[in-house]
């Protein structure tokens, strides 16, 4: 593992595999941005029924709930590098075939729904394998910096670069964004396949071990670690609030603020810029407070930002609040991922990360429904205040695990893991 000294902390060296993994992640996120923008537009051109259009988006959540735990268990059984490039190669071929169907005028809502479901189902294995592979590429002391660089690079690729390119590709033809997305999947697959990383050592599985038992073991490990249990509960509560906010943000800006599409573009840009800034300074915040307290601070500040969004009727205030919200959201995401990687035994990281993600993702569709309901009943600004209430609950869930001396595994547990740090 190669590392270099950063500003007060170890930073991952680009050699040794991390550079290739970073490039693959950034290229893939660029393709995701192209597909994510093109799919709703294509769906709207095929039908005017809101439920069918929404079904395409819903299929982005459903596979995580159905297959997320299974994907984590499989990621712990297989060569994670091989799983990642194989999944990306399959996704590239699927999207390429879909691009051909669009070019030939054979696309349909049913085909869009099937594509969205298949891609996200494969993603459950890819994401869990990627989370488990990163500690094999960089020293655990450099995981925070590595995660920050990965997330910041992905945000740049998906927002600053991807957003302006999407209209140009769509203008060139409905199939072009999907063809470009297929190319990014195949390039990312080639980059990951070129990694020369030893598979993390795993002991032999117990006799009679099954996927069901291994999934249950991952859930127990997550539950036994007080810090990770609190982080998971807090993230699930946050995602309910985020679902409510994201689902109604466009009407909050264009309706309640009467700022139009230009105002919506301004606030979403502010959110993205805030996230980039958070990725840039996260290391300093974490070095000063520690990862758990950094997450706690992020949650508290985000509560204030949400209250401003839902109570101050000003586009300037909305943009500033979303910039702060995005800044602290990056601090939250980087540190929760890093804590999970540091506190989990390497041989169980796929299962623990899948349990964490599955429980967290489940809150988003619920939040979206709640956001729409409260906006209809009590006003377009109320989803932001509802989100603030869920963030308050999430901060309360964090407090028990926020002490610096929380052990990796509670003393009365028989789970292993002294590998929290090294």
pLDDT digits (tens, 9 = 90+) for 160-198: 777 677 778 877 888 898 999 999 999 999 998 888 765
Q: Is 415 exposed, middle or buried (0-12, 13-18, 19+ CB in 10 A)?
A: middle
Q: How far is CA 281 from the centre of its chain?
A: 19
In the chain, what are the domain boundaries? Answer: 7-195, 225-401
Q: Which positions ≥6 away from 283 have C-beta within 8 Å? A: 6, 7, 8, 9, 11, 144, 145, 148
List C-alpha distances in Å: 31 to 166, 213, 271: 10, 36, 21
CB 329 within 8 A of CB 297: no
User: Would you give the DSSP letter of residue 206?
Assistant: P
**Highest mean pLDDT, choosing among 79-93, 167-181, 194-208:** 79-93
Measured at the alpha carbon of residue 153, what is the angle toward residues 295 and 163, in degrees to the nearest 5?
Answer: 110
User: What is the per-residue pLDDT across 281-330, written as a single tens digit (0 to 9) for each?
Assistant: 998 999 899 899 999 999 999 999 999 999 999 999 999 999 999 999 99
Write down the CATH number for the domain with range 7-195: 1.20.1250.20
Residue that wins the pLDDT comparison between 197 and 396: 396
Distance from C-alpha of 124 to C-alpha of 357, rounded to nearest angstrom: 9
Residue/partner pairs of 250-253 with CB below 8 Å, 24 or more apart: 251/375, 251/380, 252/309, 252/318, 252/380, 252/381, 252/383, 252/384, 253/315, 253/318
CATH of 225-401, one of 3.40.50.800, 3.20.20.80, 1.10.150.120, 1.20.1250.20: 1.20.1250.20
Least confident of 3-7, 127-131, 248-252, 317-321: 3-7
The single-letter DSSP state of residue 107 is: -
- Rounded Cα gap, residues 242 and 236, in angstroms: 10
pLDDT value at residue 29: 82
Q: What share of the chain is helix, strand, coil (3-state, %, to 5)?
A: 80, 0, 20
CA distance 396 to 294: 15
Query: Is beta strand 10-12 parallel, antiparallel or unpaired with respect to 3-5?
Result: antiparallel
Its pTM surpasses 0.85? no
More reliable by pLDDT, 354 or 391? 391
Alpha-carbon distance of 286 to 305, in angstroms, equals 21
The CA–CA distances, whole Å, from 123 to 130, 256, 346 equal 10, 36, 20
Closest C-alpha to 31, from 211, 244, 182, 215: 182
Confirm whether 7-195 and 225-401 share one CATH topology: yes
Q: How many CA atoms lie within 13 A of 217 on its CB side?
A: 21
């Amino acid at each position: 593992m190669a590392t270099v000294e950063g500003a007060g902390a170890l930073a991952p060296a680009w050699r040794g595999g991390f550079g290739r993994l970073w490039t693959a992640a950034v290229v893939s996120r660029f393709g995701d941005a192209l597909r994510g923008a093109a799919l709703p537009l294509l769906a709207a051109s095929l039908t005017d029924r809101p439920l069918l259009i929404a079904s395409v988006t819903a299929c982005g959540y459903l596979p995580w709930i159905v297959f997320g735990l299974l994907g984590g268990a499989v990621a712990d059984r297989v060569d994670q590098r091989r799983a990642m490039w194989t999944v990306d190669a399959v996704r590239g071929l699927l999207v390429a075939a879909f691009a051909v169907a669009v070019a030939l005028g054979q696309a349909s809502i049913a085909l869009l729904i099937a594509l969205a479901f298949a891609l996200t189902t494969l993603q459950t294995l890819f994401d869990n394998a990627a989370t488990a592979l990163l500690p094999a590429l960089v020293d655990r002391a450099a995981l925070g910096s590595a995660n920050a660089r990965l997330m910041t690079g992905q945000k740049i690729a998906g927002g600053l670069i991807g957003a302006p390119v999407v209209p140009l590709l769509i203008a060139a033809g409905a199939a072009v964004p999907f063809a470009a997305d297929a190319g990014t999947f195949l390039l990312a697959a080639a980059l990951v396949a070129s990694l020369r990383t030893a598979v993390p050592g795993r002991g032999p599985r117990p006799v009679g071990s099954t996927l069901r038992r291994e999934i249950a073991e991952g859930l127990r490990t997550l539950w036994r670690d007080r810090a990770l249990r609190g982080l998971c509960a807090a993230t699930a509560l946050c995602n309910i609030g985020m679902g409510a906010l994201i689902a109604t943000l466009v009407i909050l800006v264009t309706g309640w603020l009467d700022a139009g599409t230009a105002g919506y573009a301004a606030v979403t840009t502010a959110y993205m810029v805030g996230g980039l800034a958070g990725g840039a300074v996260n290391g300093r915040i974490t070095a000063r407070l520690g990862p758990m307290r950094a997450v706690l601070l992020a949650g508290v500040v985000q509560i204030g930002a949400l209250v401003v969004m839902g109570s101050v009727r000003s586009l300037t205030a909305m943009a500033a609040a979303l910039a702060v919200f995005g800044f602290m959201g990056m601090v939250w995401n980087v540190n929760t991922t890093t804590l999970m990687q540091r506190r989990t035994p390497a041989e169980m990281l796929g299962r623990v990360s899948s349990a964490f993600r599955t429980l967290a993702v489940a809150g988003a569709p619920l939040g979206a429904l709640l956001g729409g309901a409260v906006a209809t009943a009590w006003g377009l600004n109320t989803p932001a205040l509802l989100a603030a209430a869920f963030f308050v609950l999430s901060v309360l869930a964090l407090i028990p695990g926020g002490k610096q001396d929380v052990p990796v595994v509670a003393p009365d547990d028989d789970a292993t893991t002294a590998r929290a740090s090294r």
